[in-house]
Chain A
Amino acid sequence: MFKKLIDKSAAKSPWLFHLNTGSCNGCDIEIVACLTPRYDAERFGFKLAGSPRHADILVVSGPITVQSRDRLIRTIEQTPDPKCVVSIGSCPKSGNVFKGSYGIDGPLDKYVHVDVSVAGCTPKPEAIMEGLYKAALILEKKREAMHK
């Protein structure tokens, strides 16, 4: 009965869980900046959730350090479907300046399919929001695919 509404809601209310896998904090503060009055991501329903169990979109920032690798995999596993993974900045996709370091076990694509990648070091909040917006639309598609 509510099938359509539920599918539509999937795009309208994406909750984020932010994973810092060894980031320098540059991307992290820009993600938070998205929620500030100037960018106001909440007008599209974005909300930072406290637990991956509540999240729809996993926002990953930082090269995947060896220490954070298992935690990343576990957290992604613990997120209920439908879910999206968004990589913020260059680090998760490649390792950025930390590439090749003994402490890095990236990139993110090795562990999970990255739905949207946002480039920049750090990306502007506008770019992050654009990426999240894209991810929200993907969520709706994934939700539709779930009951097929």
Chain B
Amino acid sequence: MTILRYLFYILVFPGALFTIAVGLFMAGIDRKVIAHMQKRVGPPLRQPMYDFFKLLGKETIIPAKANRAAFLAAPVLSFVSLCFIMLFIPIFGFTAINGAADMIVILYLVTIPGAALIIGGASSGSPFASIGISREMVTMMAYELPFVLVLLTVAKKVGGDQLVFNLSLVSDYQAVNGSLLSHWSMIPAALAMLLVIPAEVGTQPFDVAEAENEICEGPLVEYSGSPLALFKLSINMKMIIMTGLFTSMFLGGIRTGFVALDALLFVIICIAVMLVSITTIHAVTARLKIEHLFKFYWTVVAGLALVSTILVWIGM
């Protein structure tokens, strides 16, 4: 029975199916809203699904110079690890594997898809991919500092002088004290986190690594067919995971008592977060240079997060 329940968790509810479905849906909304912001009609909402299934139907070419095993395993690694991260993120009151992981674990788990992308890109043997993974790595280094600051700030805010890294506890705290976004000292941290999300997902101004018109989509350059489908799906799944992380860190605390209703609300709030952090920024900006990106994250975004950290630290 436990096994069945866990199987359900992994394959259906907070795991694979839920993440894929919501991820594709969110990607559809993202594209639609960006289109409207640019006065276009935009693709239908199910366009990401079409993209995914079309790629499944394409031929898979493995370059002769590539390391076959790593080349094929990398997208699966990325996809599967993303399926699991969702299990550790509380959907308001509900966490699939409760207490199995905390924020630091999630911080590391979300680097695994990035690492998988890097291994996949590196194993393809293309110089474009090499430049791409170099940029991907610098991007990861760039957003890691503000991300860490935000996580520690939330932990301090919630725990006081206790060690609280558990997201479920963060969620519980918000149920009692109101969402963290309503505490004004957390607003800079929330802003910083909103800017971390697009870099983690890899959308417009921060998609230096996958710049399609400079370096032919970087690490993905040699991918085709189903492996590419998995990587593209991973990007969509990252949307729900990162916005979900934001939601449970800053906008948690809603308790309706029904898991389904909670999940629905969760998805709605995630979409709202995505509209602010991913869509709007995507629609109004052009791609940054990698050195500007690094500087931006280590000065502006980290600065915002640091302001919040100091405010929380002095007890505001």
Contacts and interface: CB of A to CB of B under 8 A. Distances in A.
Interface string B12-39: 0000000000000000000100010011
A103 interface: no
Contacts of A67: none
B228 interface: yes
Given A9-B50, A10-B57, A13-B51, A42 B42 contact: yes
B224 A50 contact: no
A13 B222 contact: no
Nearest to A49: B212
Nearest to A5: B53
A143 B228 CA distance: 18
Interface in A20-74: 37, 40, 42-45, 48-51, 53-54, 56
B298 to A, nearest CB: 28
B51 A9 contact: yes
Given A37-B38, A80-B59, A45 B50 contact: yes
B47 interface: yes
Contact of B54 (A37, A48, A56, A146): A56
Given A54-B228, A56-B54, A40 B42 contact: yes
Nearest to B215: A50
28 contacts: A2-B56, A5-B53, A7-B57, A9-B57, A10-B54, A12-B47, A12-B50, A13-B51, A14-B54, A37-B38, A40-B40, A40-B42, A42-B35, A43-B40, A43-B43, A45-B51, A50-B215, A51-B216, A51-B217, A51-B221, A53-B221, A53-B224, A78-B61, A80-B59, A80-B60, A82-B58, A143-B57, A146-B57
A38 B59 CA distance: 34
A6 B57 CA distance: 6
Contact of A45 (B38, B47, B211, B223): B47
B38 A50 contact: no
Contacts of B44: 43
A81 interface: yes
Contact of B216 (A13, A14, A50): A50
Given A6-B53, A53-B221, A80-B58, A37 B39 contact: yes
Contacts of A12: 47, 50, 54
Contact of B31 (A8, A42, A82, A146): A42
Contact of B43 (A5, A45, A81): A45
A10 B57 CA distance: 8
Q: Which of A10, A42, A48, A49 has the largest count of B CB atoms less than 10 A from its CB?
A: A42
Q: What 7 pairs across the A-B complex have the smallest Cβ distances? A: A50-B212, A80-B59, A6-B57, A9-B53, A50-B217, A9-B54, A12-B50
Contacts of B286: none
B213 interface: yes
A80 B61 contact: yes
Given A51-B220, A54-B220, A80 B225 contact: yes
B41 interface: yes
